[in-house]
Structure formats: C-alpha cells, structure tokens
Amino acid sequence: MLAAFSVHAQQTDQPTHRMQQHGRHHGGEKFTRALNLSAEQQQQMKELQTSFRQKMADLKKHDEISVKEYNAKLQELRTERKEKMQAVLTPAQKETLAKMKQERQEKAKERALVGAEKLKAKLKLTDAQASQLKDMRAGTMTKIKSIREDNALSHEQKKEQIKGLVMQQKEQLKTILSAEQLQQMEQMKAQHHRRDFSK
C-alpha cells in the first residue's frame, strides 16, 4: 500500500541472505514451471548462472579498473548471460517469457494504483494532495532510474544519491501533508514493515 508513494526500500538493495536465498529459490521454481523447462534446459540454465557468478567474482577482484570500466564490463556480462539464456529457450518459451514480463509490469501498475487509492482513503487526502503525491513519486522514480542507469557511478555512489532523493522526498511530504497525516503515514509504514519481517 505504501509502495505507491515511498521509495525508502529502494535506497538500499542489500536484502538479507535468507531473503535472497528464498527469492532465488522461489523465483527459479516458478520460472521452471511456467516455461516447462526440460531437465537439459534446467541444467544449462544452472551452468549459465554458475558461470555468471564466477565471472562476477573475478570482475570484483580487478581493483585497478575504473568505475566506468567496471560498470561497462558488468553490463557486458549481464547482456551475455541474457543472450545465452535466450538461446536455451524455444520460440514458444521465449513468447511465454515475454508475456510473463508484460503481466508483471501490468500487475505492478495495478498494485500501485490500488495502493494509491487506499492511501488516499486512509489519510483522507484531497484530490490536490493525491495529485501532488503522484507527481512527486513519478519525478522521484524517474530520477532513480536515471541514477541506476548511470554507468559512471559506483554502486555506493548510486546508493548515496538515491538516499539523497529519499530525504528530499521526505521534505517534500512535509509541504504536502498535514502533521496528522504525516504521523499516520509513519504509523502505517511501521505496521507494513512489521508484517514483512513477521513473514
């Protein structure tokens, strides 16, 4: 619900090891089932992932290269992995994969819309406030996308700049919401985080 107007979770992309393991395991199973991968394809995908992780580890050992060179090589590795994974799939599986991606994007938009409506009702936002929050979020997300795609920035620099945007957003919220609405939003965030950690 709060994801519609908050990018706090995006200021760091270092989830716990347990969450990472669960996400990879669950996502891998869903991917395999949805595409109906054969045993041979599953093995090929596993080998591609192992190879990618090894190349990533090797790349991180090269302290002598610049940030720009590192990011360029990282992008090359990701592109190479994507192309090799595509080569493993049949035309029908590629079509299914494209549909899955489209469905994910549509569901994300739906969740954002539903979250925005729930937030508007919970905080008793006026139409003007809701519109301002929507514009603020859109502007922030555009800036975050730009930062993430800037290969001249290191991972730490990206995190710092996104953190700065989050702080700016918090200050903007103070000019849009009343003190009571801000307090209520913080309470809702706390409840949301407690539910996440209790899962």
Query: Bigger pLDDT: 144 or 6?
Result: 144
Mean pLDDT for the stretch of residues 72-100: 92
Q: Are 130 and 68 found together in one domain?
A: no
Quick one: pLDDT band at residue 85, thresholds 50, 70, 90? very high
* 101: in domain: no
Predicted pLDDT at 198:
57
- Provide the domain count of the chain: 2
pLDDT(17) > 90? no
Predicted pLDDT at 194:
65
Detail the DSSP E strand segments found in 59-193: none
Nearest-angstrom CA–CA distance, 131 and 98:
32
Domain span holding position 49:
17-89
Q: Are 156 and 191 found together in one domain?
A: yes
Tell me the CA distances in angstroms from 105 to 112, 148, 150, one per residue in order. Answer: 11, 18, 23
Q: Could you tell me the two tokens for 155? A: 């991972």
Mean pLDDT for the stretch of residues 156-171: 90
Predicted pLDDT at 64:
84
Annotate 57-95 with three-state secondary structure. HHHHCCCCCCHHHHHHHHHHHHHHHHHHHHHHCCHHHHH
Length of the chain: 199
Angle at CA of residue 119, ends 116 and 125, nearest 5°? 100
Predicted pLDDT at 10:
43
Nearest-angstrom CA–CA distance, 185 and 6:
10
Q: Are 124 and 194 found together in one domain?
A: yes
* 96: in domain: no
Query: Bigger pLDDT: 13 or 157?
Result: 157
Looking at every residue in the chain, the average pLDDT score rounds to 82
Q: Could you tell me the two tokens for 3? A: 């994801």
Contact between residue 143 and residue 10 where contact means Cβ atoms under 8 Å apart: no
Quick one: pLDDT band at residue 196, thresholds 50, 70, 90? low
Predicted pLDDT at 42:
93
Q: Are 180 and 127 found together in one domain?
A: yes
